[in-house]
Amino acid sequence: MFCPECGLEYEEGSSLCEDCGVELVEDPLGEEAPEELEFVPLGEVTDATVFAIVTSQLEEAGIPWFVQSEKESMAMVYVARNRLAEAHRELAAAASPVAVCEGN
C-alpha cells in the first residue's frame, strides 16, 4: 500500500497516510516480487531410466521441477510445492517398475 499524495509506502494493514490523511492505494506498479515458486523434494532418483521417466512425466504434466545432484549417479528431484500432490499422482504409475508388459 502507498499514499497517492506523498508516495510513502506503508505496510499491509494501514489504510490512511499518517501525513496526508488520504486513503492508501494498492501499488499500481505491482512492484511486489513475482510469485516465487517454492520447491520441495519429491524424491531421490539413482536410476537414469527412472530419472528420464520421472522428468518426462513432470514435463508432460507441466509441473515445474529441477534436479540437484548430490552425489554422482544420484539426483534429488524437486517440484513446485503447490504441485507436489499432483506430482505424486503422476509418478505413482510412471515411476513404478519400468518393465511394462506389452502383449497379453
- What mask, x for binding Zn ion by CB under 5 A, covers residues 51 to 70? --------------------
Scanning 3-11, 27-35, 58-66, 70-78 for contacts with Zn ion by CB under 5 A, the matching segment is 3-11
| Residues in 14-53 at the binding interface with Zn ion, rule: CB under 5 A | 17, 19-20
Residues 104, 102: Cα–Cα separation, whole Å: 7
Scanning 11-19, 36-44, 73-81, 82-90 for contacts with Zn ion by CB under 5 A, the matching segment is 11-19
Q: Check binding of 6 to Zn ion (CB under 5 A).
A: yes
Residues 67, 75: Cα–Cα separation, whole Å: 6
User: Between 6 and 40, whose beta carbon lies closer to Zn ion?
Assistant: 6
Residue that is written with C-alpha cell 506430482 in the block: 87
Residue among 64, 37, 18, 29 nearest 3 (CA): 18
Per DSSP, the three-state class of 70 is strand
Contact 84, 40 (CB under 8 A): yes
User: Between 4 and 41, whose beta carbon lies closer to Zn ion?
Assistant: 4
Site of interaction with Zn ion (CB under 5 A): 3, 5-6, 17, 19-20
